[in-house]
Amino acid sequence: MALQKKGMHGAWTSRWTFIMAATGSAVGLGNMWKFPYVAGSNGGGAFVLIYLACILLIGVPVMMAEVLIGRHGRQSPINSMNEAVHVSGADLRWRSVGWIGVVAGLLILSFYAVIAGWALDYILLMSSGELQGINGATASAAFDNLLSNPGRLIAWQTLFLMLCVGVVIGGVKKGLGIAVETLMPLLFLMLLLLLVFAVLKGNFAAAVGFLFSFDLDALTWRGVLEAMGQAFFTLSIGMGAIMAYGAYMPQDANIGKTILIVAFFDSAVAIISGLIIFSIVFATPGIEPSAGPGLMFISLPVAFGGMPGGLLIGALFFVLVSIAAWSSAISLLEPCVAWLMEAKNISRVKANFIIAGVAWVLGLGSVFSFNIWADYKFAGFTYFDFLDFITANIMLPISGLLITLFVGYLIKRDIIDTEMQGTSERIIRLWELTIKYIAPFAIALVFIMGVYDKFTS
């Protein structure tokens, strides 16, 4: 028993390391690239409010459930889930939850590395000074130029995956633990520096007005669905990452409080990133806040390029984005690596290279989706769009829904009682209420409406 409680992969040095690791996983491209433009195209304030409600009512309860299963099993998500199913005497088909999560994680890693590669490329592009004083058309051309060059994309994708392997190979304490303890404070520091720059040089008042004003008319039903999907993606739930990290959490750490802190950090970073980006965007005439996915790679460079000293700050911004992406991607690699080590009894080093190799090969399809395969479409999707769609809109909601049902209705009571020790009665009661009655219905609604919307519009 003692052996099992420690697990073969080790554990975080402290609760604080878990908080940094989980925050590192949660804070990523979702917060810096996706949140501002999705909020922007859904009218700002009202969307932000719904998003925060989803974090609290769906995100936090599911995250607590994942950590609970992980910490009980102390193994990769697949085997932790197996363990919980066996101990609870549930139907063995529930084991598929772990599988869906890990496979979704691997697919996400494959395209996440490609997009993170763009951010790495932009660090160089910004610091080269080439973009000084550019306008919208040249900024689009610079971005297209990057996307049309498979060799350049593959080089960055490969480098990014190697950076991830470099961390995960070191194991839980010496690899992941040390990385997040160093990277996260650095990330917060850079975020604050950029916030100061945005307040001093940008149009901060307009950004605040935009993110916090309530234009209910601009919010559509579809926007509500996007807010829920975003809450899932940004908290890294439904894909094994948080379950894997939970497996390394110290037994005396209070799950309720810890997860609330992580969710708070994640939301704070999304909102601060939004404030930074919109302050800069609103200070530049002719750029729309609803610019869509190109907001970060086209609009921002134009805005930075027009400000004195802006390009250096722009380079710093893309370093920040790259770090955020890096600390997220390692949490996608770790669950697969842990599983391969358990299943095939191979070393951590070997497992890292095998999984990263698979992610690399799968990622080539995403690279080609932006150039030589751009015209090959399946049901209207490029390979990249397809992976993005089936992971975020199909696999994550299904896995999240199954987790709420399993933990809400089937799991053995003992597991909850043991893992929730230390969490206050009130939080436990609220958690049970949401995980049983609110989250499953909300997720089912998102899922059905999201899929319906996709195929009817």
Only segment of 27-35, 42-50, 65-73, 360-368 that touches ligand PHE (CB under 6 A): 27-35
Q: Which residue is nearest to ligand PHE (CB)?
A: 30
Write each residue from 32 to 71 as x if it is in contact with ligand PHE (CB under 6 A), else as -, in one continuous string. Answer: ----------------------------------------
Shortest distance in whole angstroms from residue 119 CB to ligand PHE:
11
According to CB under 6 A, which one of 7, 28, 43, 306 is a site residue for ligand PHE?
Answer: 28
According to CB under 6 A, which one of 234, 258, 284, 434 is a site residue for ligand PHE?
Answer: 234
Does residue number 23 form part of the binding site for ligand PHE (CB under 6 A)?
no
According to CB under 6 A, which one of 108, 169, 198, 249 is a site residue for ligand PHE?
Answer: 108
Nearer residue to ligand PHE within complex by CB, 164 or 283: 164
Number of residues that bind ligand PHE (CB under 6 A): 15
According to CB under 6 A, which one of 107, 179, 239, 276 is a site residue for ligand PHE?
Answer: 239
Does residue number 236 form part of the binding site for ligand PHE (CB under 6 A)?
yes
- Window 298-357: residues binding ligand PHE (CB under 6 A): 328, 331-332
According to CB under 6 A, which one of 11, 29, 131, 420 is a site residue for ligand PHE?
Answer: 29
Nearer residue to ligand PHE within complex by CB, 29 or 46: 29
Nearer residue to ligand PHE within complex by CB, 241 or 367: 241
Only segment of 75-83, 200-208, 236-244, 276-284 that touches ligand PHE (CB under 6 A): 236-244
Q: Is 107 exposed, middle or buried (0-12, 13-18, 19+ CB in 10 A)?
A: buried
Only segment of 26-34, 91-99, 408-416, 441-449 that touches ligand PHE (CB under 6 A): 26-34
Write each residue from 190 to 229 as x if it is in contact with ligand PHE (CB under 6 A), else as -, in one continuous string. Answer: ----------------------------------------
According to CB under 6 A, which one of 11, 17, 24, 30 is a site residue for ligand PHE?
Answer: 30
| Contact set with ligand PHE (CB under 6 A) | 25-26, 28-31, 108, 233-234, 236, 239, 241, 328, 331-332
